[in-house]
Amino acid sequence: MGSVVNSIMSRSASNKRDLDIDPKRYGAWKIEEQGTIYEIIAKKVYAEVGGEKPKRSAKGLNVKRLTPDDFARWYEGTAPVQDQIQINNFLSVMHGADMYRAQRREGTRVESATT
């Protein structure tokens, strides 16, 4: 059974031959699971469809703070925004910067799909 992928991409990926797949080459797609349905939103951003504890990833954002509705809206084109507290690097702190800084992070924008 092959993996089923719902994705927003700038080109068709309905067939494995349409994707650059190689288990060892950097930058290529890797087959990590088979038979699981994912919504691929952007590079390093995806959500498993269904399941008891769906696997989710969101580059640059705190995934635990994102709801299934956030991923659904993101899949439709509205990227979530999070206010985060980030720690400054040691050297900056030693030169007088505050230990923590507020940062606003926005999810990766979805590319328009072409048909």
Asked whether the whole model's pTM tops 0.75, one would answer: no
Which pLDDT tens digit goes with each residue over 17-26? Answer: 667 888 899 9
Q: What is the pLDDT of residue 15?
A: 55
- Report CA Rg, the chain: 17
Please say if the pLDDT value at position 97 is more than 50: yes
What is the H or E stretch that residue 83 is in? strand 81-87
Local structure of 104: helix, strand or coil: strand
pLDDT digits (tens, 9 = 90+) for 37-85: 888 888 889 898 887 888 999 999 999 999 999 999 998 989 999 999 9
In angstroms, rounded to a whole number, what is the distance separating the alpha carbons of residues 20 and 94? 46
- What are the sequence ranges of the domains in the chain? 4-80
What is the number of helices (H) and of strands (E) in the chain? 2, 6
Structure tokens at 9: 């991409």
pLDDT score for 113:
47
Residue 99 has pLDDT above 90, yes or no: yes
Contact 48, 56 (CB under 8 A): yes
- DSSP character at residue 18: G
